[in-house]
Structure 1
Amino acid sequence: MRFILLAIFLVFAPATSSALNTGRIFVSNEKSHDIYVYDADFNLIKQIETSQRPRDMKLNAARTLLYVACGDDDIIDVIDVETLEIVDGIPTGPSPEVFEFSPDESQIYVSNEEDSMLEIIDLLARITVHDVPTGAEPEGVIAPAGSNKLYVTSEVADMVHVVDRDKGVVTNNIIVGTRPRRFVITPDTNELWVSAELSSEIYVIDRTSEEITEILEFLPPGFRPEDVTPVGMALTRDGGIGLISLGRANHVAIIDARSKELLSYVLVGRRAWSVALSRDEKIAVVANGLSDDITLIDMQTYRPIRSIPAGRVPHTVVIDD
């Protein structure tokens, strides 16, 4: 009973003024098994030891709790944003990699890499509602508001699964490029973008027809096509600008998200993996997985500001501002 009451409190606890918009930047580090926490000036203020292999992270809507998928311990750690302590854990299937909340935060959708399942967990009851079979090595998950659909990538099957989240069944499979990784949805909710790491492409899918409408390719100067391995993406709130981390090409591509025209390539660290925007959208933060640092990008000049040391193999950036 005590565990259930704790779960109820953590999921539905209201935000406190001290825990909201702290200005902190959180970076998960896969190989040092920790979260680096920086203040708003990018000074390192704490290293939080987590379960093994922390990867994807997300804040709850109240921005009081940070959820961290820890792939080697089959758990999602829950961190109090104010105290910076781990306060709970949500057991998952084997090797959770990426997850998403339902719009009302009653459920969490987890891609379990090792058993090729999308797991739908009831956050209050802490039970698995559905295990949805996917292609091998599922990764990216996104659950747009106003829809009963969610989407999950399969790295090995080279496809996007469309899932009815109420029934827990796959309703369509969309074939894309090699090793699809992550998603973003445009603010008008019409387009679903998918990064295909090994075919060096971004696929644009019309969400109504579930058809591919565009395929975007990038090639920074001095790199071969096979060096371009896009993974993380971000969009400005108005849907005007898109950022795509280009992996081993060590750049971020900045594009006009409507016309899809390239605006700039920005040199960052080695293997640019994920990217996040500050709330005022003046700075982008890029996790560089092979140089063990993060790079700050000035979004007005499209130039790197500086790089800051992180832990071993930084994976995901979350900004609480």
Structure 2
Amino acid sequence: MKPLRFALLGGLLIATACTGHPSATTGPTTRGPTPIVTQVPTAGPAKATPQLLPGMPPPLSPTDVWAADRPGRFAASVRRDPVRIYVPNSGSNTVTEIDPRTYRVIRTFPTGRQPQHVVPSWDLRVLWVNNDLGNSLTPINPVTGLPGRAVAVHDPYNLYFTPDGKHAVVMASADQRLVFLDPHTMAVQKSVPVPCAGVNHADFAADGRTFVVSCEFSGQLLLVDTAAEKILQVLRLPQRRRMPAPMPQDVKLAPDGRFYYVADMMSNGVWLVTPQPFAVRAFVPTGKGAHGLYVTRDSRRLIVTNREEGSISLLDFATRRVVAKWRIPGGGSPDMGGVSPDGSVLWVTGRYNAVVYAIRLRDGRLLARITVGSGPHGLAVFPQPGRYSLGHTGVFR
């Protein structure tokens, strides 16, 4: 693989191959912004035309992986669930529930130590609170909003579900592992060590056969085989000129499945990464501290929270350019959240401000600033349209 040259064109940083340089091999580089790909040996040749992961619900559209997320397309199992905003307060060891119609807090209850995310289960019947330092998952009944008895799981920083619903996947950041679990009992099935530091976010390919994981503290991405539960490749993100080392955060697949968008908190924007071949293709600046990624209900735009500058950017999928940026009045720290079922409001935590913001997506107007506990992090809006959940704060397809 040849080194890449980066050029800024209309807000899009384009990567092109350089000539006259030696090919990259493995390990970090100290010369220029060269992404490094480490190939992990696999058995046998890859199929030319891969099929869907067995057991995965077929996509509703061949050109839009988010087609099931349109307003009103609720799964039958959640149509009677009350819409609530579930906020894990990492510094307070609590979860706060908000009524989005009145902007009022309904209840706050204790959890295990350092809850990081509230994650809808694959079948949409349980919300799991990831108590990272408490080494447990607290279940919430989405019908009543009440918590149940915690289940012991080690280092559950974040939680995902495979598209076939057969496995839960814990992002065990401190343990440096991907842990595959029974999606109902949370019993460990397989623990996979990772060659990077700080596994935290992920998203699955359109066919469900692979998924990409971000490694926050080593500036790397992993390409993982879903069925084989093994790492296929490791990609090191390039370091932008005069910028700190990359720190990738949230990952989101483009509607057509051609690119993954990867938020980078230190590079202040999003990388465009292709799954085949696994490589960096471009970079789009969005704002300081790019962190959370969300798709609008019409699949036209990507919402990017820029935590360190207190702003929200909208990136157009068709042009791959930022078409709007809104700053939170008085400043803020927008982190993780989700879109309202009708697509009109972005709900997002203010990580350093002990608040939750409700932001109108039509024009960026701040509708409410609601006081919650200390260090609010990965809130979940539930229910949302979609047939099943891939995890995190609500990745529905």
Moved more, 175-184 or 80-89: 80-89
> Deviation digits for residues 29-84 of structure 1, max 9, x if unmatched?
10111111111322111112111111122212443311111111111211111222
User: Paired residue for 2:252?
Assistant: 184
Question: 1:47 aligned to 2:69?
Answer: no
In 1, are the aligned partners of 2:197 and 2:218 still within 8 Å (CA)? Answer: yes
What is the alpha-carbon distance in structure 1 between the residues aligned to residue 78 and residue 266 of structure 2? 43
Moved more, 280-289 or 233-242: 233-242
In 2, are the aligned partners of 1:106 and 1:124 still within 8 Å (CA)? Answer: no
The structure whose Rg is larger is 2
User: Paired residue for 2:41?
Assistant: none
> Deviation digits for residues 135-170 of structure 1, max 9, x if unmatched?
112111223463221221112221111111222211
What is the alpha-carbon distance in structure 1 between the residues aligned to residue 363 and residue 343 of structure 2? 12
In 1, are the aligned partners of 2:249 and 2:262 still within 8 Å (CA)? Answer: yes
Q: For 1:1-321, list aligned pairs within 5 A.
A: 20-41=80-101, 42-93=103-154, 95-124=155-184, 126-134=186-194, 135-144=196-205, 146-176=207-237, 178-219=246-287, 228-268=288-328, 269-321=331-383
Q: Secondary structure at the match of 2:290?
A: coil
Q: What root-mean-square deviation, in Å, do the aligned CA atoms of Structure 1 and Structure 2 show?
A: 2.1
Query: Residues 17 and 67 of structure 1: is their aligned pair in 2 closer, same or farther, counting only changes over 3 Å?
Result: same
Query: Residues 138 and 104 of structure 1: is their aligned pair in 2 closer, same or farther, counting only changes over 3 Å?
Result: same
What is the alpha-carbon distance in structure 1 between the residues aligned to residue 375 and residue 336 of structure 2? 11
Q: Shift in Å at residue 189 of structure 1?
A: 2.2
What is the alpha-carbon distance in structure 2 between the residues aligned to residue 167 and residue 62 of structure 1? 22
What is the alpha-carbon distance in structure 2 between the residues aligned to residue 156 and residue 172 of structure 1? 18
What is the alpha-carbon distance in structure 2 between the residues aligned to residue 57 and residue 126 of structure 1? 15
Which structure is richer in relative contact order (CA contacts within 8 A, separation 6 or more)?
2
Q: Shift in Å at residue 124 of structure 1?
A: 4.5
- Paired letter, 1:121: L
What is the alpha-carbon distance in structure 1 between the residues aligned to residue 280 and residue 78 of structure 2? 44
In 1, are the aligned partners of 2:83 and 2:382 still within 8 Å (CA)? Answer: yes
Higher strand share: 1
In 1, are the aligned partners of 2:303 and 2:313 still within 8 Å (CA)? Answer: yes
In 2, are the aligned partners of 1:96 and 1:111 still within 8 Å (CA)? Answer: yes
Query: Residues 214 and 275 of structure 1: is their aligned pair in 2 closer, same or farther, counting only changes over 3 Å?
Result: farther
What is the alpha-carbon distance in structure 2 between the residues aligned to residue 305 and residue 55 of structure 1? 25
Query: Residues 259 and 126 of structure 1: is their aligned pair in 2 closer, same or farther, counting only changes over 3 Å?
Result: same
Q: Shift in Å at residue 108 of structure 1?
A: 0.6
What is the alpha-carbon distance in structure 1 between the residues aligned to residue 135 and residue 115 of structure 2? 10
What is the alpha-carbon distance in structure 1 between the residues aligned to residue 230 and residue 325 of structure 2? 40
Q: Shift in Å at residue 238 of structure 1?
A: 3.3
In 2, are the aligned partners of 1:205 and 1:211 still within 8 Å (CA)? Answer: yes
Query: Residues 301 and 81 of structure 1: is their aligned pair in 2 closer, same or farther, counting only changes over 3 Å?
Result: same
TM-score (norm 2): 0.70
Query: Residues 88 and 164 of structure 1: is their aligned pair in 2 closer, same or farther, counting only changes over 3 Å?
Result: farther
What is the alpha-carbon distance in structure 1 between the residues aligned to residue 129 and residue 204 of structure 2? 18
Unaligned stretches of 5+ residues in structure 2 = 1-74, 239-245, 384-397
Query: Residues 69 and 53 of structure 1: is their aligned pair in 2 closer, same or farther, counting only changes over 3 Å?
Result: same
What is the alpha-carbon distance in structure 1 between the residues aligned to residue 211 and residue 217 of structure 2? 19
- Paired letter, 2:92: S
Query: Residues 40 and 102 of structure 1: is their aligned pair in 2 closer, same or farther, counting only changes over 3 Å?
Result: same
Moved over 6 A (4+): 15-19
User: Paired residue for 1:8?
Assistant: none
Q: Secondary structure at the match of 1:52?
A: coil
What is the alpha-carbon distance in structure 1 between the residues aligned to residue 218 and residue 122 of structure 2? 33
What is the alpha-carbon distance in structure 2 between the residues aligned to residue 229 and residue 271 of structure 1? 9
Q: Shift in Å at residue 125 of structure 1?
A: 5.7
Percent of paired sites with the same residue: 17
User: Paired residue for 1:225?
Assistant: none
What is the alpha-carbon distance in structure 2 between the residues aligned to residue 195 and residue 271 of structure 1? 15
Q: Shift in Å at residue 18 of structure 1?
A: 7.8
In 2, are the aligned partners of 1:267 and 1:304 still within 8 Å (CA)? Answer: no
In 2, are the aligned partners of 1:75 and 1:90 still within 8 Å (CA)? Answer: yes
What is the alpha-carbon distance in structure 2 between the residues aligned to residue 245 and residue 65 of structure 1? 27
- Paired letter, 2:209: N
- Paired letter, 1:320: F
Q: Secondary structure at the match of 2:157?
A: strand
> Deviation digits for residues 59-114 of structure 1, max 9, x if unmatched?
12443311111111111211111222222434323x32111111232211111111
Aligned length: 298
What is the alpha-carbon distance in structure 1 between the residues aligned to residue 82 and residue 286 of structure 2? 36
